[in-house]
Chain A
Amino acid sequence: MKKYILKRLLQIIPVLIIITFVVFCLVYVAGDPVALMLPEDSSESDREALRQALGLNDPFIVQYFGFVMDLMQGNFGTSFRYNQEALPLVLERLPATLELAFASMVVATVISIPLGIYSAKKQNTFGDLFITGGSVLGKAMPNFWLGIILILFFAVNITIFPVSGRGSFMHIILPAITLGTGIAAEMTRLIRSNMLEILNQDYIRTAKSKGVSNSVLVYKHAFRNSLIPVVTIMGLQISHLVSGALITESVFAWPGIGQLLVQAVNGRDMAVVQAAVFVIAILVIVVNLITDLIYRLLDPRIHYS
């Protein structure tokens, strides 16, 4: 087990190298930052001098290695916009993003597990059709639209929740629902189809022949077996939440990495873009590793070597 974790941690290194390359390419093709850094009436010779000073005239490879060397020292450069080091700026936003991701997963889990199980137990009844139909709707609604509608109804028309920002517990509810709905829809369908398959397994019949009650049958014998694919999807969705909460964070002015990233892209604040992408990549890797370790706890047949 320890050996496996160590192996997985070592695998992060090549992944990180590739990420640095991609991140650097992104910035390289994004264009000349000098135009934004100097006033509009600056002369061409001033610009050229700045380019020279920043090393922007060096060959691609030289620039890339310079970038990697800086990264190794934890130096992502300085944000023009905030006039601060980029990495601390991003890390400062990390708790807000993680908080929202966690809250969304809670919303998704609380909705999807009971609905998915109910749907499987009552296959092809009205309730099942209603839930599966509803999950199509939930998956089809775009986040930005749902976010705006929720704000309109529950923060403007009826002022239960604050419109935007982060602070109290009330602030997180609308964005968490916005993000959680789509995930809940996907997980509901997954749990349903999984449970249906598992309820037909031989070991369910064995348990039934032992005199186990229906609820123990479903919640102990079947549900535990259906969790493995569910955890896979949850892991994927968390990665998605960390990186893809851009729109929701913008709609709710949630001060997370997503919002920072959108602002940085708009302002061509490339040091921040690089740092944010880098941090998100590491989060995704860590979440994947945790997911793989959870499999081991859920299914004794899985062995790591």
Chain B
Amino acid sequence: MSEKLLEIKGLSTHFFTENGVVPSVNNVSFDVNKGEIVCVVGESGCGKSVTSLSILQLINKPGRIVNGEILFKGTDLTKLSEREIRKIRGNKISMIFQEPLTSLNPVFTIGNQISETIRLHQNVNKNQAKMKTLEVLKKVGMPNPEKQYYSFPHLLSGGMRQRVMIAMALSCNPELLIADEPTTALDVTIQVQVLRLLRDLSEELQTSIVLITHDLGVVAEMADRVVVMYGGEIVEQNNVFDLFSDPKHPYTKGLLNSTPKIHQLDDSLESIEGNVPTPANMPHGCKFNTRCPFVMNKCREEQPPLIDADNGSEVRCWLHLEKEAVSS
């Protein structure tokens, strides 16, 4: 199970706007193993979506990947030509987006949109593509696929639309699925259905998933491993059990504390003080120092490196480095 499918090494994606360079993603590295579900967590604007779009080279101008490698089964995706990356998009790696209504083209039937992917990547005729489309619609639990094949997106409910997106993404049996907040726009009951569907299909098809979310409930439900991002950088990385039982970075602790717990309803809900700093006024040193309850002088002077902690976890915090220095 430890075969590496995707290795992101030192990825930096910057946006070159008229008001200067916005470093949305800085030196981000993580791996995704075969069959694994990796959750990328963070607040809005922490660079998690930009990271996910960078993998398939879907960053639009004025954004650009300025540094780093994205190795997919050993091939660096950042070095591929437009034609070569197109063969991977939707075929080997596919994506699901947040808002299924705006993510589906309003003027084409869902059958047309799913079979388009199949016909792009597989050598099949129109009829075979339709059969495969019906098959995959059935697989994602679309009731009455023969009829829905000819439906337009606006006629479906939110949950059904997201099922269409999933069907489209899985139609070519990809090895990696990138889901960018796939349940954020859905009702809570539908969220659970969609997440279960994703997890079951991932097990059945041995598809790895990179799941972008800000919802720790989703993380607990889905993840094998968790990457916590803040201010365009990874601040902590660990397997899901250790991350929830023993969070190391103060930001992760803050995130976990600000989740309501059903057995502690008497307390008022905790929150992390302050707001995410905008890329234009990122603080010097550790990016979390403006909001960190354990802030030290050193945090304001120098950026902590991402250090290896126990059990293959990583954390970016002076607090932790100090501890290690003391114990050794």
Contacts and interface: CB of A to CB of B under 8 A. Distances in A.
B105 A203 contact: yes
Given A201-B102, A300-B107, A301-B152, A211 B95 contact: no
Q: What is the predominant secondary structure among interface residues of chain A facing chain B?
A: helix
B107 A211 contact: no
B288 interface: no
A212 interface: yes
Given A209-B95, A210-B120, A221 B89 contact: no
B105 A206 contact: yes
Given A202-B97, A300-B152, A209 B105 contact: no
Interface string A132-162: 0000000000000000000000000000000
A210 B58 contact: no
Interface string A190-216: 000000000011110111111111100
B107 A210 contact: no
Contact of A205 (B88, B103, B154): B103
Contacts of B97: 202, 205-206, 209
Interface string A83-101: 0000000000000000000
B102 A203 contact: yes
B137 interface: no
B104 A210 contact: no
A7 interface: no
A299 interface: yes
A214 B103 CA distance: 17
A212 B107 contact: no
B123 to A, nearest CB: 14
Contacts of B88: 211
Contacts of B107: 224-225, 298-300
A211 B89 CA distance: 5
Contacts of A300: 106-107, 152, 154
B102 A210 contact: no
Contacts of A299: 106-107
A225 B87 CA distance: 25
Interface in B63-119: 82, 86-91, 94-95, 97, 99, 102-108, 116-117
A203 B106 contact: yes
Contact of A210 (B60, B89, B152, B154): B89
A201 B101 CA distance: 11
Contacts of A213: 86
A211 B121 contact: yes
Given A202-B97, A212-B116, A213-B86, A207 B105 contact: yes
B105 to A, nearest CB: 4
Nearest to A299: B107
B106 A301 contact: yes
A302 to B, nearest CB: 10
B129 to A, nearest CB: 13
Most chain B CB inside 10 Å of its own CB: which residue of A205, A221, A299: A205
Contacts of A225: 105-107
Contacts of A221: 105, 108
B168 interface: yes
B96 to A, nearest CB: 9
B103 A301 contact: no
B117 A202 contact: no
Most chain A CB inside 10 Å of its own CB: which residue of B82, B99, B105, B168: B105
Contacts of A210: 89-90, 94, 116-117, 120, 168
B104 A206 contact: yes
Contacts of B82: 214
A196 to B, nearest CB: 12
B56 interface: yes
Given A300-B152, A301-B152, A203 B58 contact: no
Contacts of B104: 203, 206
Given A202-B97, A206-B97, A301-B152, A211 B103 contact: no
A229 to B, nearest CB: 14
Given A208-B58, A210-B120, A211-B121, A202 B94 contact: no
A203 B110 CA distance: 12
B327 to A, nearest CB: 46
A213 to B, nearest CB: 6
Nearest to B171: A210
A199 to B, nearest CB: 9
Nearest to A205: B58
Contact of A301 (B86, B91, B154): B154
Given A209-B58, A212-B116, A203 B87 contact: no
B212 to A, nearest CB: 14
17 contacts: A202-B103, A205-B58, A205-B97, A206-B104, A209-B56, A209-B58, A209-B89, A209-B90, A209-B97, A210-B89, A211-B90, A212-B86, A212-B120, A221-B105, A299-B107, A300-B106, A301-B152
Closest 3 pairs (CB-CB, A-B): A210-B90, A211-B89, A211-B90
Given A206-B104, A224-B107, 7 more contacts: A206-B103, A208-B58, A211-B120, A211-B121, A212-B86, A212-B116, A300-B154
